[in-house]
A = this chain, B = another copy of it.
């Protein structure tokens, strides 16, 4: 409450590093927090554990992060950001939908089933009830964004006459779900403790592409089936 808000805090007094502003140390803390949060979940992760895992004193922890929740949110946003970058650059602009979808599907499924990503997923879903904003933010800037990206690509393919799709967003989500069939769900429930092999991924993604093309490739009925 009684802060020194009079003094020009913008930069350090002279040329000195500021209270909690060392980006390396910040990263260091987030790395430790990632370990602890993903291996124990939000509630069971204690701030002391995190401080220890990060090789940082508890005091410093609270210099860099306001409280446990802020630390967690910042961490999740960082992880989501790295995923986002990976996904965006994976969607190359191949004009052959089969090649493009295969490549993208493979990349994104590998990322999603990575140890860390699955753990983060679990934790976010686990707290989604108590922290709906975080859940929504994570969803919209993660899975939903990926779907949007694919949908845009599909739009172009439709415009070029290479695919026949009515609802490209739905089609994009369908494709992503197909790419993950039998792979991601058991990992979420921790029924399978290791990421799928690259061969497994390739096989499932191949089947996904096959199914997708059977439905939306040229020369397939394009309207919804009987109701």
Contact = CB atoms under 8 A, between A and B. Distances in A.
B174 A41 contact: no
A125 to B, nearest CB: 5
A98 interface: yes
A225 interface: yes
A221 interface: yes
A139 interface: yes
Contact of A119 (B39, B129, B170, B226): B129
A135 interface: yes
Total copies of this chain within the assembly: 2
Given A125-B126, A225-B213, A169 B191 contact: no
Q: Chain A contact residues: over half helix, strand or loop, or mixed?
A: helix
Given A129-B122, A224-B210, A190 B135 contact: yes
Given A129-B190, A136-B191, A178-B177, A214 B220 contact: yes
Contacts of A186: 139, 144
Interface string A124-145: 1111111010011011100110
Contacts of A209: 225
By size class, the interface of chain A is 35 or more
A75 interface: no
Given A122-B128, A190-B128, A173 B182 contact: yes
A211 B129 contact: no
A210 B65 CA distance: 50
Contact of A126 (B41, B174, B206): B41
Most buried by B among A121, A126, A136: A126
Contact of A207 (B123, B170, B185): B170
Interface of A: 38-44, 98, 102, 119, 121-130, 132, 135-136, 138-140, 143-144, 167, 169-170, 173-174, 177-178, 180-182, 185-186, 188-191, 193, 202-204, 206-215, 220-221, 224-227
